[in-house]
Homo-oligomer: A and B are copies of this chain.
Amino acid sequence: MKDSHQDLSVLVLAGGSGTRFWPASRRRRPKQFLPLMGERSLLRRTTDRVLPLCGSAGLWVCTTSDLGAAVEAELPELPSGRILREPQGRNTAPAIAWSLSRMPEEVRDGIIVVLPADHMVSDEGAFRAVLERATEVAAVSSKVLTLGVVPDHAETGYGYLELADEPADDLGARRVVRFTEKPELETAEAFVSRGRYLWNAGIFVFRGSVMLDHLRRLQPEITATLRAIDQEPDRLAEHYAAMPKVSIDHGVMEFLDDLATLPLDCGWTDLGSWDALAGVLARDEQGMVAQGDIVALDCSDSIVYSESGTVAVLGVSNLIVVRSGDVVLIVPRGRSQEVRRLVAKLREEGREDLL
């Protein structure tokens, strides 16, 4: 395998501000900064995972200016110029377009891997091997790739990629014919049983200049905004606020005729909720996941996560308990997706101190 350090760059998207890991995640410390799986934050894990591929010189992080200092603190060895700060988050299509526009031409003309900062991968070797192959596909063709995770259950929380009938190319890449966002359970079950569907992992590989061409064609508002910013850099914030809020999936990928995918089978999860985290962390014989100063008696099948202070549980089952900062959250397992509702309620009630 050739030395991919030379022409491979990795762009980590670290501007997200999800609320599903509240109260551990807050406005100033979203999920990617949390050490959900041990010592290292998800962002740190993500960059550590790809460094063998791109080297430290090939690593870029896109975030919002609000979170810039947090990224610097988390990745102190990363030169400041390689932290690309959006004035505000406008979803992934503007984030990728903005990042490409800030990169030097020789980087943009090379192959770029785009990764969310907050996913988990258990087999990192397998993960890198697929990324290397994807890099080769993008290098020898002008194709854009979106990696597809081989599903192990009928998940309704992910998007699905439908593969074309035609066989894979020499490097194993398959053509994607359709995206289906978060299907109903019945549809998801049919997809998984048919075997021609992969989960859309939100991991993309392309030559930067190729992606910019697609953006100019498919999202002209975005590229026009970038030109306006070039012409009036002192009106950056104002122009950026007018960026359409659109994901790269909806804004570009779904329109591509020759979108390719490589199947990824590496224990991937997007860690979408406390329930998902409970499924990944080590459990004891009673099915208990305990992080922090936890005292448990007669408990089972629960996750108790404390960043500071003691949590004592007696006789509870199927519960999620999270203690972070000044807040304790308690929610039954299976309902942690609804934490968003709780956050919405707090916002309505003006409890900005807790968000």
- Which residue numbers of A lie inside 8 Å of B, CB to CB? 23, 295, 297-298, 306, 309-316, 319, 321, 323, 326-332, 335, 338-339, 341-342, 345-346, 349, 351, 354
Q: Do A313 and B330 have beta carbons less than 8 Å apart? A: yes
Q: Do A316 and B328 have beta carbons less than 8 Å apart? A: no
Q: What separation, in Å, do the CA atoms of A331 and B296 have in the docked complex?
A: 10
For A341, give the chain B residue with the smallest CB separation.
B297
Q: Do B309 and A327 have beta carbons less than 8 Å apart? A: yes
A8 nearest CB across to chain B (Å): 43
Q: Do B315 and A354 have beta carbons less than 8 Å apart? A: no
Q: Do B346 and A330 have beta carbons less than 8 Å apart? A: no
Q: Do A330 and B316 have beta carbons less than 8 Å apart? A: yes
Q: Do B314 and A328 have beta carbons less than 8 Å apart? A: no
For A331, give the chain B residue with the smallest CB separation.
B314
Q: How many copies does the complex hold?
A: 2
A199 nearest CB across to chain B (Å): 27
Q: What separation, in Å, do the CA atoms of A298 and B334 have in the docked complex?
A: 14
Q: Do B313 and A323 have beta carbons less than 8 Å apart? A: no
Q: For the A-B complex with A297-B338, A315-B331 known, give 11 more contacts whose Cβ atoms are closer than 8 Å.
A: A295-B351, A309-B327, A310-B326, A312-B329, A312-B342, A313-B331, A314-B331, A314-B339, A314-B342, A316-B319, A316-B330
A328 nearest CB across to chain B (Å): 5
Q: Do B338 and A315 have beta carbons less than 8 Å apart? A: yes
Q: What separation, in Å, do the CA atoms of A171 and B152 have in the docked complex?
A: 80
Interface centre among A330, A331, A351 (most CB of B within 10 A): A330
Q: What separation, in Å, do the CA atoms of A323 and B327 have in the docked complex?
A: 10
A275 nearest CB across to chain B (Å): 12
B residues in contact with A349, CB < 8 Å: 295
A318 nearest CB across to chain B (Å): 11
Q: Do A312 and B328 have beta carbons less than 8 Å apart? A: yes
B residues in contact with A319, CB < 8 Å: 316, 330
